[in-house]
């Protein structure tokens, strides 16, 4: 599912207040780079920063296990796609609106949530292409509320870095998507509706030994393992009142969820010791473990009165010491640390000229 689109609707009336910055030329690709001037003065965790893409919606950039490459999704129409497809890049590359990285998905259907396999030669991702070659419709509102589609044609595939699908890991009826791989290189966690609700499951790298690890009503998704593979962090809607439960079930029956009220939860990799990590209100999502394994970086609009901006925050895994990391006036999300902990890839509306593009950025991290 394209998690960006619904959130971007919240930002339509917002303009970037960032001034134009100095440019340098990448002599390898001819593309344009922008560095430290992209950092707001309060963003002390960023030692340097460069912008990777310059058009379309680009998100969920995940590092290879050796930190040499990243795979990400984009709907940049100038790259000859009609909806989200997967693209591959070297860690030091930058792309203009007209210079596209290689596509590593089929170009059919809609894709989401790619991730590298431990061999650095394959990726996993979810795709709807077995249901239809065309991009599925993307409803954005229902009864005035923001919604995300949960396509029942999503399945999870393994592909090589030339875009050839080598195996299909799921074939259940319903939504199977949002896969990520443990840093230990032994397990995949993903979201599925095979139980009738949106729950988390784990499986081996070949799709075997599927185990359900959450079983409470609500959308459990966007899960990631801790650096040592012992814990999982994820977002959840968890409706409580009779009306909330009815609304959730009614939307789910139509293949939809409402993403405006989510908190973060943490558990052991087998689902035990489940507990709620945040209780901030609004939408708290796209969590990723800090390299220490003792903190979580995530995106939230809990300080926002009108639904925006979204900024990045750090919180200890015991729920203490919440601190703000970014100071955008629009949208920062999808933070992902490199495996060596030196860099952070994330998506942002900063430096887009006041438009709607969401681009990739890579920042040099300092604690």
Mean pLDDT over residues 333-340, rounded? 98
- Burial readout 282-313 (b: 16 or more C-beta within 10 A, e: otherwise): bbbbbbbbbbebebbbbbbbbeeeebbbbbbb
Span 219-253, pLDDT tens digits: 999 999 999 999 999 999 999 999 999 999 999 99
Q: Which two tokens stand for residue 118?
A: 């431990």
Across the chain, mean pLDDT equals 90
Pairwise CA distance, residues 260 & 111, whole Å: 22
Compute the CA torsion angle 339, 340, 341, 343 (nearest 10 deg).
Answer: -90
pLDDT in tens, 85-113: 999 999 999 997 778 899 999 999 999 99
Q: Tell which residue, 159, 162, 126, 119, has the closest CA to residue 1.
A: 126
Using DSSP, state whether 265 is helix, strand or coil: strand
Provide the token pair at 145.
Answer: 């509320």
Q: How far apart are CA 156 and CA 78, in angstroms?
A: 26
| Tens digit of each residue's pLDDT (9 = 90 or more) over 198-222 | 999 999 999 999 999 999 999 999 9
How sure is the predictor about 37, in pLDDT bands with cuts at 50, 70 and 90?
A: confident
pLDDT for res 233: 98
pLDDT of 28 reads 35
Confidence of residue 4 (pLDDT cuts 50, 70, 90): very low
Q: What's the rounded mean pLDDT across residues 117-140?
A: 95
- pLDDT given for residue 36 in this prediction: 66
The per-residue pLDDT for range 167-177, each reduced to its tens digit, is 999 999 999 99
Binned at pLDDT 50, 70 and 90, residue 346 comes out as: very high
Q: What's the pLDDT at 98?
A: 77
pTM for the model: 0.90
């Amino acid at each position: 599912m394209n998690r960006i689109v619904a959130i971007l609707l919240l930002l339509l009336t917002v303009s970037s207040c960032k001034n134009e910055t100095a440019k340098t030329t990448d002599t390898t690709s001819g593309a344009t780079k922008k560095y430290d001037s992209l950092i707001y003065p309060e963003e002390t965790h960023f030692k340097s920063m460069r912008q990777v893409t310059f058009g379309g919606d680009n998100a969920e950039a995940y590092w290879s296990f050796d930190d040499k490459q990243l795979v990400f999704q984009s709907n940049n129409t100038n790259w000859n796609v009609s909806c989200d497809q997967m693209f591959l890049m070297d860690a030091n590359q930058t792309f203009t609106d007209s210079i596209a990285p290689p596509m590593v998905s089929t170009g059919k259907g809609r894709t989401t949530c790619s991730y590298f396999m431990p061999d650095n030669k394959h990726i996993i991702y979810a795709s709807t292409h077995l249901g239809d070659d065309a991009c599925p419709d993307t409803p954005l509102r229902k009864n005035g509320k923001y919604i995300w589609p949960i396509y029942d044609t999503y399945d999870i595939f393994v592909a090589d870095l030339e875009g050839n699908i080598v195996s299909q890991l799921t074939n259940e009826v319903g939504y199977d998507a949002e896969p990520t791989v443990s840093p230990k290189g032994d397990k995949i966690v993903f979201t599925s509706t095979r139980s009738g609700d949106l729950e988390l499951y784990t499986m081996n790298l070949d799709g075997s030994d599927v185990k359900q690890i959450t079983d409470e009503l609500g959308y459990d998704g966007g899960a990631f393992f801790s650096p040592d593979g012992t814990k999982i962090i994820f977002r959840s809607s968890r409706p409580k009142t009779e009306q909330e439960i009815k609304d959730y079930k009614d939307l789910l029956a139509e293949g939809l969820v409402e993403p405006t009220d989510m908190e973060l939860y943490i558990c052991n990799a087998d689902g035990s010791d489940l507990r709620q990590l945040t209780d901030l209100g609004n939408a708290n999502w796209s969590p990723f473990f800090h390299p220490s394994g003792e903190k979580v970086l995530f995106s939230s609009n809990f300080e926002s009165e009108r639904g925006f901006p979204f900024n990045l925050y750090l919180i200890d895994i015991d729920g203490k010491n919440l601190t703000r990391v970014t100071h955008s006036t629009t949208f920062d999300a999808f933070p992902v640390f490199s495996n060596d902990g030196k860099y952070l890839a994330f998506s942002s509306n900063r430096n887009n000229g006041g438009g709607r593009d969401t681009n990739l950025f890579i920042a040099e991290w300092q604690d």
